[in-house]
Amino acid sequence: MRALIAEDEPMIQMFAESAVTDLGYDVVVVGHGADALAVSRDHRELDLLFTDINLANDLNGWELAAAVVDDHPAIGVIYTSGGASYAEYQAFGVDGSVWLPKPYTAGELQEAISRIGKSDA
């Protein structure tokens, strides 16, 4: 299984990478939306996108996820943010995705991964 993490905060990158790796994923971590989109187009097999909403300098998480899902329709998506709201998630999140507000624990991230694609996510 392969996961793509798009997060521009280095400490949060390391934390998320560790939590997702503990579940057995091979993880690619990037800090910008454009880089994440390029990685998604270079990897045929991606199972999970975990993206911050407010990425520095380019695509935001909503735009990134929509583009990645176009290329990988079966990918699971988890959105996170310390600034965006659940109402925004309801308006802009892709179907079957999961909302995980910051701050979160490793256990909460792992639980979010288990909820991807479920109707109550």
DSSP the chain: -EEEEE-S-HHHHHHHHHHHHTTT-EEEEESSHHHHHHHHHH-S---EEEEESS-SSS--HHHHHHHHHHH-TT-EEEEEESSS-HHHHHHHPPTT-EEEESS--HHHHHHHHHHTT-TT-
Query: In the structure, what pLDDT confidence band is assigned to residue 50 with cuts at 50, 70 and 90?
Result: very high
| Inside any domain, residue 120 | no
The per-residue pLDDT for 56 is: 79
| Inside any domain, residue 31 | yes
The per-residue pLDDT for 2 is: 96
| Inside any domain, residue 65 | yes
| Inside any domain, residue 121 | no
Query: In the structure, what pLDDT confidence band is assigned to residue 58 with cuts at 50, 70 and 90?
Result: confident
**Could you tell me the pTM of the whole model?**
0.94
* One-letter amino acid for residue 55 of the chain: L
103, 80 contact by CB (below 8 A): no
Give per-residue pLDDT as tens, 22-35.
Answer: 999 999 999 999 99
CA distance 67 to 24: 25
Give per-residue pLDDT as tens, 61-78.
Answer: 999 999 999 999 999 999
Q: Which domain holds residue 56?
A: 2-115
The number of domains in the chain is: 1
55, 8 contact by CB (below 8 A): yes
Q: Which domain CATH number covers 34?
A: 3.40.50.2300
Across the chain, mean pLDDT equals 94
| Inside any domain, residue 27 | yes
